[in-house]
Structure 1
Amino acid sequence: MDKFVVRGGNPLVGTIRVSGAKNSALPCMAAAILTEDRVILENIPQVHDIETERKLLASMGAEVELGYGRAQHRTTISCRNLSDPVAKYEIVKTMRASALVLGPLVARCGMARVAMPGGCAIGGRPIDLHLKGLEKMGAEIVQEHGYLEARAPRLKGAHIVFDKITVTGTEDLLMAAVLADGETLMENCAREPEVTDLAALLTAMGAQIEGAGTSTIRVKGVTKLHGAQHRINPDRIEAGTFLVAGAITKGDLIVANCNPAHVGAVIGKLQEAGARVEILGNDSIRVRSDGALKAADISTQEYPGFPTDMQAQYMALATQAEGTSQIQENIFENRFMHVQELVRMGANIAVDGRTATVRGGTHLSAAAVMCSDLRASASLVLAALVADGESILDRVYHMDRGYERIEEKLRGVGAQIRRMGNVFSRKEEPVAAV
């Protein structure tokens, strides 16, 4: 099993490029189910979750080509023949986002059989909101033997009000609605850029969608979609992670190939903490921190608030900021699993329910630590970059699910980080997507 070895102390200086957003690419790949024509997606990140999605679509009969050479970040998907509309447990157990095929399969094939996703390390993320919406659209759903089976000769437009904001629920029902009879009105929708990205692809495929990116989305169903070519958004969480990396190491880092508008909450909090952040044009951000960082509280919220996927990384920064920071986690109930590992490195953190109190300005020392999930892994890398000595991070396969060759990117801007082991040699283990 792969490990990272990180020696701290080097400021990060130079330019680091952001890859495509894994959490945009996954629903866009699922959207290819909705048409018999080819869908070409560009700026696809080379991460484990993309390979898992490829296997999932291929197991249903789709032809999925991942690019190589100059086209290495492009995928071409043809779902002309969906001979087996089943999301098998052996595949979906490794990726929570597999639930995203439920809506498009029912819309396209009239049925779907999807293994229920497994447990989640950072908290429960039930798909009951997906199911309630599909039932409103006329699907009959039964659960047996660990599988959900949904059937509908043709889905019908409906008025759906989400009980709580859900990104994957919004995406799943949006894909179902585009081929439903009549009009679907969805309220209390997620506004994340990943939803907007999916809607842009669906619109390019011939869907009629209004309001994507707002809390109310209106969809007029069509009888058929066609193929399209679409470029995936840059990964806003990877961009935020690199911004924190530049600030925590007191470096001078340009984060390129990103969308500054998508990381506004992170930029604002870094500025509050004393980092200097400058937006360079439409796709680059410069972060510098040559003085003492200071404590600043955060409270995770749905977009456009401070993202839960950046909470762990910001906590690493808070350990180096003078003063006491309060970190409130409002999205997931069990997303402080990185705390005990940061404490092993010398951090002073106390957790009470969903609030972590970080007493900053502490000296971190190298240690052997364990990665528990995707974003926790990123926080430990950040902490190791400023720790005294050489840290060893175990179970970095979590990192490989969502960050493309992060050790190579960081090494290119001055980090002392190397990988021990073969990047794709491990046996996949059941983990949940983040």
Structure 2
Amino acid sequence: MLSSAGQLPEVPAETIVKITGGHMLRGRYRVQGSKNAALHLVAAALLADTPVTVRRVPNVVDFFVYERLLQYSGWHAAMDANRSTFTLEPTGQLHREIHPDLGGLVRTTPVLAAAVLARTGKVTWPGAGGDAFCRRPTDRHEAVMRAAGAVVDSYGSGFTATCPSGFRPFRVDVSTRFGASRGATVTALLLAARVPGSSLIVNPSNEPEVRETVSFLSQRGVLVDQDEEGLHVSGSDWIAGGEVEVPGDRDEAATVICAAAATGGEVHLEGIALHELTEGLTQVLTRAGISLSAVGAQCVEAKSEGPLNGVEAVTGEGFLPSNAGPPLAALLTQAGSDSVITEGVYPSRDTHVAPLNRFGALISSSGPVVHVRGGAQLNAADAGAGDIRTAAAVVIAALAAQGTSVLRVGHPLWRGYQHLTAGLQALGAGLVVDESADDDQEP
């Protein structure tokens, strides 16, 4: 929990996870609420004029940060005792600043800034944080704010936006050379929702997090329509509150599917529908030799169908989710043929390559392209990770490796996964978290 001084709970960077490979994973795993969808839904909830309750929020680091960030900016914001429900209510004294230190810890700071700007007409915010696996510019967010009538200035490591003449309906293109920007699409939605008149978002992202945000706003009186031009948003000067439930986390589901398949096992994922995995992800996993089937409305069965196959995959809108790339690469070291994963969302994404090679994998990268040699015999290793999905990848490699691996991945895992280590243990993994770490901080 947060201390009275506003400190975040300490999760030692040196927290150790030890995994003895060779255990086949089988059983049931409950998927958490989507981290990325929840972050955007909480940001959208800042527009509401009455209280909002966001249910099934994952108990990960970013929501400890959000709780304190929003309290600092003047909202009644709190997680419940179970750390699964986030409640928000605006006060009469909103602070037009995103905390300069805490705001630098999360990737969605520009989206939060857009919500504060929409409510107050002015905001100051620091540069975005999150996983630094490559340079991730925020220029499209600033372009959206300018299109809506804001004057945006940079200072040192942060930004200030003001709307001296008020907001205006706007037209903005949120595409980048790597495709539509999911974050900038949400920034545009939040500003357009409060701007009188009709705004147009050209080349919007259609990722699940965007669709959830559109649904949330539409249910609260904001008119959003999509046609060949883009997203048409008719703003409102009053937005209702209420309740919203976060969908299942497809990134966590992909990680657990890859972990089970890497050991030749099978898993029943509870709390997520097959369609929530998205077509791009299910197609790639199926081509790799993993059978996926719906078992009820909110349960997916995943199991290996014989030897794994190498695949060629591209990440991006409508394709393989970028966050699934590193876990998939770890799995594909066990395929019977070589694989190629091309990153289509970011300039590159290869921070997992060197850690995986420590296990004996044969992986290389060139620009956005990662080559994975199939059929590798993995052996236990001492490895670390600096970002969430690299941490997941080395866990998968350790599960498939011979011997006991020592992984320094506690903090990045807890940033993205509420209970991955405990869930893998329940599936039969030979996994322990270093006893010197506080049990309450286990990822």
Taking structure 1 as the reference length, the TM-score comes to 0.93
* 1:91-130 equivalence runs, <5 A: 91-118=102-129, 121-130=132-141
CA RMSD of aligned residues (A): 1.8
**Residue in 2 aligned with 1:57?**
70
Shift of residue 277, structure 1, vs aligned partner: 2.2
* 1:268-283 equivalence runs, <5 A: 268-283=283-298
CA distance, structure 2, for counterparts of residue 143 and residue 114 of structure 1: 10
- Given the alignment, which residue of 67, 78, 83 partners 2:94? 83
| 1:136-176 deviation per Cα after TM superposition (whole angstroms, max 9, x unaligned) | 11111111233211111532111112232101100111011
CA distance, structure 1, for counterparts of residue 190 and residue 401 of structure 2: 45
Task: From the superposition, tell whether residues 13 and 119 of structure 1 become closer, same or farther in structure 2 (CA, over 3 Å).
Answer: closer
Shift of residue 404, structure 1, vs aligned partner: 0.7
SS at match of 1:34: coil
* 1:36-75 equivalence runs, <5 A: 36-69=49-82, 72-75=83-86
**Residue in 2 aligned with 1:333?**
347
CA distance, structure 2, for counterparts of residue 204 and residue 253 of structure 1: 35
CA distance, structure 1, for counterparts of residue 235 and residue 117 of structure 2: 14
Contact 2:248 2:276 in 1 (8 A): no
Aligned length: 422
Task: From the superposition, tell whether residues 415 and 169 of structure 1 become closer, same or farther in structure 2 (CA, over 3 Å).
Answer: same
Contact 2:20 2:399 in 1 (8 A): yes
CA distance, structure 2, for counterparts of residue 408 and residue 119 of structure 1: 24
- Given the alignment, which residue of 181, 188, 191 partners 2:196? 181
Shift of residue 329, structure 1, vs aligned partner: 1.5
Shift of residue 352, structure 1, vs aligned partner: 2.0
CA distance, structure 2, for counterparts of residue 215 and residue 329 of structure 1: 27
**Residue in 2 aligned with 1:161?**
173
CA distance, structure 2, for counterparts of residue 350 and residue 399 of structure 1: 24
Contact 2:26 2:267 in 1 (8 A): yes
* 1:285-300 equivalence runs, <5 A: 285-289=300-304, 291-300=306-315
CA distance, structure 2, for counterparts of residue 109 and residue 97 of structure 1: 19
Long gaps (5+) in structure 1: 427-434
CA distance, structure 1, for counterparts of residue 162 and residue 395 of structure 2: 45
Taking every aligned residue pair, what percent have the same amino acid on both sides? 27
Long gaps (5+) in structure 2: 1-11
Contact 1:366 1:389 in 2 (8 A): yes
- Given the alignment, which residue of 16, 29, 32 partners 1:3? 16
SS at match of 2:438: coil
Shift of residue 332, structure 1, vs aligned partner: 1.8
CA distance, structure 1, for counterparts of residue 43 and residue 369 of structure 2: 36
* 1:420-431 equivalence runs, <5 A: 420=434, 421-422=437-438
Q: Amino acid of the residue matched to residue 378 of structure 1?
A: A
CA distance, structure 1, for counterparts of residue 291 and residue 144 of structure 2: 45
**Residue in 1 aligned with 2:255?**
241
Contact 2:73 2:94 in 1 (8 A): yes
CA distance, structure 1, for counterparts of residue 194 and residue 364 of structure 2: 50
Q: Amino acid of the residue matched to residue 407 of structure 1?
A: T
CA distance, structure 1, for counterparts of residue 273 and residue 16 of structure 2: 31
Shift of residue 279, structure 1, vs aligned partner: 2.2
